[in-house]
Amino acid sequence: MLDVSSLETLNSDHREIARLVYDTVLLLDSKDFSGWLHRCTDDFAYAVRSWSPELRAQITWLEHDRAGIENLVRHLPRHHTEPVLLTRHATVYRIEPDAERSEATAITALTIYQTQDDGGETSLFAVGRYYDRIIRTDDGWRLREREVELDTRSLGIGTQYPL
Amino acid sequence: MPRNAAQWDLKPQLPSTHFVDPLIYTSPLILHEEREKIFARTWVIACHESEVRDPHDYRTYRHPAGKNLFVVRGDDGTIRAFYNVCPHRGNTLLYEPAGNAKHLLCIFHAFAFDCRGECVTIPRGEEGYQDRIGKAEMGLRAVRTEVGFGGMVYVNLDDGAPALREFLGGALDDMLEALDTEPLEVFAFHRAIVPTNYKLWHDTNSEFYHDYLHYHNRETSLKQPGYFERRYTTFPNGHARVGDQVVKYEAYEGFKDRDLSFPGLVRNQWKMVDLFPGQTYNLRGSSLRIDTSIPISPVQTSIEFRGLGLRRDTPEERALRVRDYNSIWGPFGRNLHEDLLAVLGQGRALGRGQRYFLHAREEDNTIHDEIGMRQFYGEWSRWMGRPASAPLEVL
């Protein structure tokens, strides 16, 4: 049974982890990739996957280590991308720290809207979930792994941005 | 010099093979005719054999002629295709895009069919139909099916059409060693619904002048030796092949040469074939991409993308092929988004100003020559009985 002090620590961890997840959403929405990666560890791993009923298998759409993600976002200005705004709506469903409270997993429901620069029309881009692995560092909780599991598989012309 | 209204509407002073009227991209009548005259009579790719690997595996397919089909592997190992509709009251037979079913059961009134298309159950048949209608009269509509050229499952709604090999006319022969030496397997599938005409997607696959669109291709191909020596070869029935190039992938910062390849393929080699009326084989070193276009309306197209590797790949090899495929293709790839953005832009502008589309580049059939599109529209005009440059005229 947890004593009061432990319970307070646990609640504090939950708040800080939820805040970390929400911060990553805000930073991605504002295309502050440097700020986003600052919330990630040096051995950060990122993937976008989806279950395909057509192939009856899981498909990987994007999989990078930190260097790969840095390369991806660094090259964005050299590529043509659709002039749209991606807005993520996230709700952290579950946070589960390990026994030592040095590491935690988090499951977050994710909805991404797409707003056209020309005219401002908004449509649904994708729904899915973040499956995050988060570790405690000297600088606080940081994201070590993020797996974006998409329900949506028909993504129009797609995107070059991390979700 | 800017043009006034009359000048803008003038037909280009070019051979009629070198431009098209955008009416072919917007007219519902044209699409109706394309479905009847082209898609209902030509071979199109429904899926890959690895998607129906085991007996009773099935895979549904929305055929570009407007029919719903499914492909199923029989208990005899043969792959067949049928309309995905119950002949009783027209309900959809298979709702899931893929699965395995020993009997294909219509959920509505429990009619059942086997994997060879025969009706095997009519509930209370004799009581209701007596001897007027029986199982023999209630078989499924079979669709001609041939499997080959990389294990792709081709279907043709026309029972009298020439065989697949004759239709392809040798267009894939240069790729056969890579395609048919050993079995392939699909590792990626996704569908892009894009507000554009299906021919505009095929156009993009049929010309390389648009490499200026892609930072990746400019660095790894266009600036590299051999690029401008690539030549187009045209084939009967509207197909075209692009000459090979060895791509320098590491010229894109952070990218690597492709460690894996396909049988008979030089490392990092790129081969590409466009098949009339809307399919492309795109083999880039370690992964093969197959595109199939399905018109939904004149200005809306469903494009199915498949990524393939070798069936015998180890998990580590497969992961490499997936990585390479995703780097430029897939919904988050560097190139595919740009290609789709371009045809999206064309789609948004259709009927909003453009008078003629030019296919007029002549460079001795080399990489920026637009012979690939001219080959396509020559064939299109023949099947349609209308010149693409003046589609209201009848040939």
A-chain residues within 8 Å CB-CB of B331? 61, 155, 158-159
Query: Which tokens sit at B360?
Result: 């007029």
pLDDT at A121: 96
Q: Where are the alpha helices (DSSP H) in chain B?
A: 5-9, 23-26, 28-34, 125-129, 164-168, 176-180, 198-206, 215-217, 315-328, 334-349, 371-384
Nearest chain A residue to B49, by CA: A55
Is the Cβ of A47 closer than 8 Å to some Cβ of chain B? no
B146 and B206 in a single domain? The answer is no
A-chain residues within 8 Å CB-CB of B213? 80
Residue from the list B326, B336, B338 with its beta carbon closest to the beta carbon of A62 = B326
Cβ distance B231 to B240 under 8 Å? no
Read off the pLDDT band of A2 (50, 70, 90).
Answer: low
Strand partners, B153: B47, B147
B70 within a domain of the structure (yes/no): yes
Nearest chain A residue to B52, by CA: A55
B151 and B181 in a single domain? The answer is no
Give the whole-angstrom CA distance, residue B157 versus residue B143.
6
B204 and B264 in a single domain? The answer is yes
Is the Cβ of A98 closer than 8 Å to some Cβ of chain B? no
B392 within a domain of the structure (yes/no): no
> Between chains, do B341 and A81 touch, taking CB under 8 Å as contact?
yes
Give me the domain span that covers residue B131. Answer: 44-156
List the single best residue of A46, A48, A51, A55 to mutate versus B (max B Cβ within 10 A). Answer: A55
Task: Using DSSP, state whether A57 is helix, strand or coil.
Answer: strand
Give the whole-angstrom CA distance, residue B195 versus residue B302.
9
Q: Is residue A54's pLDDT more than 70?
A: yes
Here the CATH number for the domain that contains residue B257 is 3.90.380.10
A-chain residues within 8 Å CB-CB of B333? 158
Is the Cβ of A35 closer than 8 Å to some Cβ of chain B? no
- Listed residues B156, B187, B211: the one ending a domain: B156
pLDDT at B259: 86
- Is the ipTM higher than 0.90? The answer is yes
Q: Is residue B268's pLDDT more than 80?
A: yes
The CA distance from A113 to the nearest CA of chain B, in Å, is: 16
B216 and B148 in a single domain? The answer is no
Q: Is residue B323's pLDDT more than 90?
A: yes
B102 and B51 in a single domain? The answer is yes
Is the Cβ of A84 closer than 8 Å to some Cβ of chain B? no
Here the CATH number for the domain that contains residue B134 is 2.102.10.10
* Total domain count, chain B: 2
Residue from the list A55, A62, A80 with its beta carbon closest to the beta carbon of B51 = A55
B201 and B321 in a single domain? The answer is yes
B21 within a domain of the structure (yes/no): no
pLDDT, tens digit, 9 for 90 and up, residues B372-381: 999 999 999 9
pLDDT, tens digit, 9 for 90 and up, residues B28-49: 999 999 999 999 999 999 999 9
Topology of the domain comprising A4-150 = Nuclear Transport Factor 2; Chain: A, (3.10.450)
> Between chains, do A52 and B189 touch, taking CB under 8 Å as contact?
yes
Read off the pLDDT band of A5 (50, 70, 90).
Answer: confident
How many CB atoms are closer than 10 A to CB B128? Answer: 10
